Structure 1
Amino acid sequence: MATTKTMKIDWLGDQRYVGRSDGGQQILIDNSANKIGVSPMDAVLAALGTCTAYDVVGIMAKRRTPLSHYRMEVVGERADETPARYTRITVRHIAGGEGVTQEQLEKAAHLSHEKYCSVAASLNAEIVLEVVAEDAEARA
C-alpha cells in the first residue's frame, strides 16, 4: 500500500506561503521582493540535498566510518523557457572523518542517488554527483 503525505499551504499575502506537514512542521516559501523564506525552486535544491545527506551520513556510520564533517553544494541549472524547471543539478558532497576514503564516500553518495533518495527519484532533471573526501586539515 502506498504512503500518502499531505502538505497544507496557506497564502500569507504577496508571494509568501507557509506549508504545514501532517505532523505540524512548517516551511516558509517566499518569492516576494523582501524574502524572509526560500523560493520554491531553492526549496527543491534544499530537499534534494538534505534527502541525500541523510542517506550518506547513515551509510557511512553503518560502515563504521562516521563523518566528522560534512557539507554540500547543490547547484541547479534551469531551462530558459517556461516552465523554468531544473534541467541539471550538481550535488557536491564534501566530507571527511577518520578512515573515510574517496571511494567509500563516492559509494555512499551513489547508493543514495540510485537507490534511497526519494527526492532524486522524483525529479525530472539530470543529477550529477561530485564527491570530495577531505581531512580536517583541508578544512582549515
Structure 2
Amino acid sequence: MKKSLNITWLGEQRYVGVNPSGQQLLIDNSPTKIGVSPMDALLGALATCTAVDIVDIMAKKRTPLSTYRIEVEGERAETHPKRYTHITVRHIASGPGVTAEALGKAAHLSHEKYCSVAASLNAEIHVEAVLEDAAVSS
C-alpha cells in the first residue's frame, strides 16, 4: 500500500504537507513556531497511532473509554542525526468497567502488533497505562 504526502516550503523553516484527500499538516521549525516541529510531529504520530488502536480495542471489549489522553516523551541522541533513542508513551484513561489490566493489555497490543508508527521507529519504546480515579466509578 502506497501513501503519499506533497510537501511545500512556505518560507523560513515552515512547510505544509497535503495528502491526496486534501488534508494538511503544518510542520514548523522556524523561530516563530505556528506549527509543530518535525520531531514533535513524530511523537504525535506515535501517540495517535496507538490511540486509534486502544480506543478501538477497548470499545470491542465493551468497555469504552470516557476520558483518554496520551503523554509522550522522547529522549534524543546528543550527536547527529539526534534521533529518538528512548520514548515513553503513557496512556491515561477512565471509563465504566475499564480496568488497569485491560488498558495495559490494549496498550501493549497496540505497540507490539498494530501500530505501524511504532514498528517504523528505531527507538526503545516504553509503554505505561494509567487508570484515572474516575474509571472506578459506576
What TM-score range do you get, normalising by the shorter chain?
Answer: over 0.9
Q: What secondary structure sits across from 1:29 in the alignment?
A: strand
Q: Does 2:41 align with 1:39? A: no
Q: SS where residue 82 of structure 1 aligns?
A: coil
Equivalent position to 2:117, from 110, 116, 119: 119
Number of residue pairs matched by the alignment:
136
Q: TM-score under structure 2 normalisation?
A: 0.96
Equivalent in the alignment of 2:133: 135
- Cα shift at 1:137: 7.7
**Does the 8 Å contact 1:97/1:135 carry over to 2?**
no
1:50 Cα deviation from its structure 2 partner: 0.3
Q: Quick one: which amino acid aligns to residue 40 of structure 2?
A: D
Given candidates 88, 92, 95, the residue that maps to 1:94 is 92
Aligned residue among 76, 79, 94 for 2:77? 79
**Unpaired stretches in structure 2, ≥5 consecutive residues:** none
Give 1:133's aligned amino acid: L
Say if 2:94 and 2:135, in contact at 8 Å, map to a contact too: no
- Determine helix, strand or coil for the equivalent of 1:32: coil
> Are the counterparts in 2 of residues 91 and 127 from structure 1 also a CA contact under 8 Å?
yes
Give the Cα–Cα distance (whole angstroms) in 2 for the partners of residues 137 and 115 of structure 1. Answer: 26
CA RMSD in angstroms comes to 1.1
Q: Which amino acid aligns with 1:102?
A: A
8 Å contact kept, 2:87–2:125: yes
| SS at structure 1 position matched to 2:78 | coil
The percentage of aligned residue pairs carrying the same residue is: 71
Select which of 3, 10, 27 maps to 1:12.
Answer: 10
Q: Is the 8 A contact 1:87 1:125 kept in 2?
A: yes
User: How far off is 1:135 after superposition?
Assistant: 2.9
Q: What SS class does the counterpart of residue 56 from structure 1 fall into?
A: helix
Which secondary structure state, in structure 1, belongs to the residue aligned with residue 57 of structure 2? helix
Measure the CA separation in 1 of the matches of 2:103 and 2:4.
34
Q: Is this contact kept in 2: 1:89–1:128, CA < 8 A? A: yes
Name segments (4+ residues, structure 1) moved above 3 Å: none
In structure 2, give the amino acid aligned to 1:32.
S
Q: Work out the CA distance in 2 between the residues paired with 1:128 and 1:74.
A: 10
